[in-house]
């Protein structure tokens, strides 16, 4: 019976434990969480979603306050097209977040950053270029391009001195999306160093429509591996979404995958950025508490717990402080939805917006409880204490459970108090 530790992910001469923890924005994948994966010889992700906010929380900087002050005059204005990010400050925040994380790295593993194209920040190209190059300046080991096709992303940093040194990977949910990306990257003679194939059971945004349930990760992974073989392309393929035990991972390795990306099982670890109260919600969730809906203004379906406070909330758009989802014309689907409801109910103090949510504010405040489809199994990965609370796990424990378990077995932690 094989286990994950019988396999290795190879990047040239570098050998890694083939476990990658996913980049969960906004700071759900904290530096602490990523550092554990790297210390244990795998790959940990941080996320570049809303880094100025993350930096303020982590380093007591004042990036958000400054931006809010600059655009204070616009708060009551329903039009947000005036709001722009100061690119120097954005670079500073990214370098700080990445740089401090890399300084703290120990062990043989790597730290990557997850970079979402959908964070268009009212200047898609300019802001993406700054985020990518600042992460490279900050010493990041690799960049995972996500939430978008990224057809122009590599070209934005082709002149960066670390362009051929930093590992670049892309997240795709179909061979078709991969082919589009490969065509572009071939022109720069810079093929991706790894390909993450994210299936329909993943957390966060999905690369499928609301018909996600008709797709299956294994089929997509097989198709992509077959294509790469046929083209003699030796690029590691890394499945993600619903890989809950070491044995699930081994099954993919035996069919040609090079590593797995996992996330949901780490949401209930001490190192994860979610507040402890929210981690208990994840533990308690049952299968019918998990839904996929269209409330994200990105236009992608998103999976979350049904009782996420953001669902149906009607807060005033907070683009003066955040504004990460403003498209190149200063629009966001939430602003439109909010303005529509405001017009319909001009005298109501608290309006409710059902079809869209203010993703920036609610992700920032951990009020969108996004999770993978198998989050309902988290309760089987820990102990329930006498007071009804579940025991939080060490990220090291979860990582090593993936690494060493066999027969779909999940190792429970040592009790830290009287159990129920």
Residues contributing to the site for ligand FMN (CB under 6 A):
22-25, 28, 47, 49, 114, 116, 146-147, 171, 198, 201-204, 240-243, 261-264, 267, 370-372, 374
* Contact criterion met (CB below 8 Å) for 267 and 30: no
User: Which residue in this structure is represented by tokens 């996992």?
Assistant: 262
Whose Cβ is closer to ligand FMN: residue 54's or residue 171's?
171
User: Which residue in this structure is represented by tokens 């717990």?
Assistant: 305
Q: How far is the CB of 228 from ligand FMN (least distance, A)?
A: 20
Whose Cβ is closer to ligand FMN: residue 304's or residue 337's?
304
Residues facing 183 on adjacent strands? none
Distance CA 306, CA 163 (A): 42
Whose Cβ is closer to ligand FMN: residue 25's or residue 109's?
25
β-pairing, 237-240 vs 194-198, is: parallel
For 148, the token pair is 């978008």
Residue nearest to ligand FMN (CB): 22
Q: How far is the CB of 374 from ligand FMN (least distance, A)?
A: 6
Q: How far is the CB of 375 from ligand FMN (least distance, A)?
A: 7
Whose Cβ is closer to ligand FMN: residue 236's or residue 314's?
236
φ, ψ dihedrals at 106, nearest 5°? -130, 160
Whose Cβ is closer to ligand FMN: residue 114's or residue 318's?
114
Distance CA 111, CA 35 (A): 7
Whose Cβ is closer to ligand FMN: residue 30's or residue 122's?
30
Task: List strands edge to edge, sheet with 290-293.
Answer: 204-205, 302-305, 290-293
For 318, the token pair is 């907070």
Burial 363-385 (b: 16+ CB within 10 A, else e): bbebbbbbbbbbbbbbbebbbee
Whose Cβ is closer to ligand FMN: residue 119's or residue 319's?
119
Instruction: Report DSSP letters for 57-126, one per residue.
Output: HHH---HHHHHHHHTGGGTT-S--TT----HHHHHHHHHHHHHHHHHT--SS-EEEEEEETT--TT-HHH
Please give the angle made by the CA atoms of 375, 50 and 107, to the nearest 5 degrees: 70
Q: How far is the CB of 369 from ligand FMN (least distance, A)?
A: 8
Q: How far is the CB of 271 from ligand FMN (least distance, A)?
A: 13
Q: How far is the CB of 43 from ligand FMN (least distance, A)?
A: 12
User: Which residue in this structure is represented by tokens 């006498």?
Assistant: 386
Residues facing 45 on adjacent strands? 112
For 340, the token pair is 């529509």
β-pairing, 43-47 vs 204-205, is: unpaired
- Give start and end residues of each alpha helix (H) in 196-332: 217-230, 246-254, 276-284
β-pairing, 9-11 vs 14-16, is: antiparallel
Whose Cβ is closer to ligand FMN: residue 129's or residue 296's?
296
Q: How far is the CB of 344 from ligand FMN (least distance, A)?
A: 32
* Contact criterion met (CB below 8 Å) for 334 and 357: yes
Q: How far is the CB of 346 from ligand FMN (least distance, A)?
A: 36
Distance CA 171, CA 183 (A): 15
Q: How far is the CB of 305 from ligand FMN (least distance, A)?
A: 10
Q: How far is the CB of 303 from ligand FMN (least distance, A)?
A: 8
Whose Cβ is closer to ligand FMN: residue 267's or residue 391's?
267
Whose Cβ is closer to ligand FMN: residue 9's or residue 263's?
263
Whose Cβ is closer to ligand FMN: residue 136's or residue 274's?
274
Q: Where are the beta strands (DSSP E) in 149-269?
A: 167-172, 194-198, 204-205, 237-240, 260-262
Distance CA 120, CA 97 (A): 20
Q: How far is the CB of 409 from ligand FMN (least distance, A)?
A: 18
């Amino acid at each position: 019976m094989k286990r994950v530790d019988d396999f290795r992910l190879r990047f040239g001469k570098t050998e890694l434990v083939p476990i990658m923890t996913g980049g969960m924005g906004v700071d759900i994948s904290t530096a602490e969480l990523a550092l554990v994966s790297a210390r244990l010889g795998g790959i940990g992700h941080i996320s570049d979603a809303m880094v100025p906010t993350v930096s303020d929380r982590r380093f007591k900087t004042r990036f958000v306050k400054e931006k809010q002050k600059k655009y204070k005059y616009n708060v009551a204005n329903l039009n947000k097209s005036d709001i722009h990010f100061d690119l120097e400050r954005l670079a500073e925040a990214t370098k700080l977040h990445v740089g401090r994380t890399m300084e703290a790295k120990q062990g043989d593993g790597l730290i990557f950053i997850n970079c979402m194209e959908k964070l268009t920040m009212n200047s898609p190209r300019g802001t993406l270029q700054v985020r990518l190059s600042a992460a490279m300046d900050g010493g990041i080991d690799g960049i995972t391009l996500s939430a978008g096709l990224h057809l122009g992303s590599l070209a934005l940093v082709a002149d960066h001195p670390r362009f051929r040194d930093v590992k670049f990977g892309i997240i795709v949910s179909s061979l078709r999306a991969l082919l589009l990306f490969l065509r572009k990257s071939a022109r720069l003679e810079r093929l991706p160093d790894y390909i993450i194939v994210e299936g329909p059971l993943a957390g966060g945004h999905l690369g499928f429509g609301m018909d996600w349930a008709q797709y299956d990760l294994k089929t997509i992974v097989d198709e992509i591996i077959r294509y790469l073989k046929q083209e003699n392309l030796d690029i590691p393929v890394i499945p993600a979404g619903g890989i809950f035990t070491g044995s699930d991972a081994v099954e993919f390795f035996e069919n040609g995958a090079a590593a797995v990306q996992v996330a949901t099982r780490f949401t209930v670890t001490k190192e994860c950025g979610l507040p402890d109260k929210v981690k208990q919600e994840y533990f308690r969730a049952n299968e019918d508490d998990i839904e996929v809906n269209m409330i994200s203004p990105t236009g992608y379906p998103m999976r979350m717990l049904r009782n996420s406070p953001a669902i149906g909330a009607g807060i005033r758009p907070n683009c003066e402080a955040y504004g990460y989802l403003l498209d190149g014309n200063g629009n966001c689907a939430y602003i439109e939805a909010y303005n529509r409801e405001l017009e319909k109910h001009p005298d109501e103090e608290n309006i409710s917006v059902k079809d869209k949510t203010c993703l920036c504010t609610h992700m920032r405040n951990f009020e969108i409880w996004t999770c993978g489809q198998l989050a309902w199994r988290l309760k089987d990965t820990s102990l329930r204490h006498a007071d009804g609370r579940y025991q939080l796990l060490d990220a090291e424990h979860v990582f090593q459970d993936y690494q060493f378990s066999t027969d779909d077995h999940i190792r429970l932690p040592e009790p830290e108090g009287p159990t129920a």
